Amino acid sequence: MNRILLTFLVPPIAVCRYGCAGCCAAPIGVMWFAGIVSIIYGFAGGPAGSESTSWATVGLGILLWIIAMIWAITVVRGVNDDKADPKCQKKRSTVCSIVKSDDDSDPMSDIKNLT
């Protein structure tokens, strides 16, 4: 399945397959699932239990789904930018500045130096 299409239809699976599953697949999955439940609940009458569709609840579900899609697109794009620049020299991704660490020293030798 196409990466963009998978990101729009099933954002958590797109993040697991093309992004960083340990980073945000669970929260994206919760937002996406809450959106689906909200859409179904809205068509069933919503919190008021009315006979007609609760469009506010359906709108909330669509909004949650859109948030999950944008979040998934951001994660997949960030991972692709990091793969394109593994040394973080061009600083294309914001994750590079957070994750990059040049400290290769041995922590045990640091402890021995302190005592």
pLDDT in tens, 67-82: 999 988 888 887 766 6
Determine if the pTM surpasses 0.95.
no
Specify the pLDDT at position 56.
93
Tokens matching residue 57: 């609840």
**Which residue, chain included where needed, has tokens 């069933």?**
44
Instruction: List, run by run, the mean pLDDT of 10-residue segments along the chain (115 residues).
Output: 84 83 82 95 90 93 95 81 63 52 66 72
43-49: Cβ within 8 A, 24+ apart: none
Tokens matching residue 5: 């299409």
Please name which of 47, 77, 76, 75 lies closest in space to residue 61, comparing C-alpha atoms: 47
Specify the pLDDT at position 75.
84
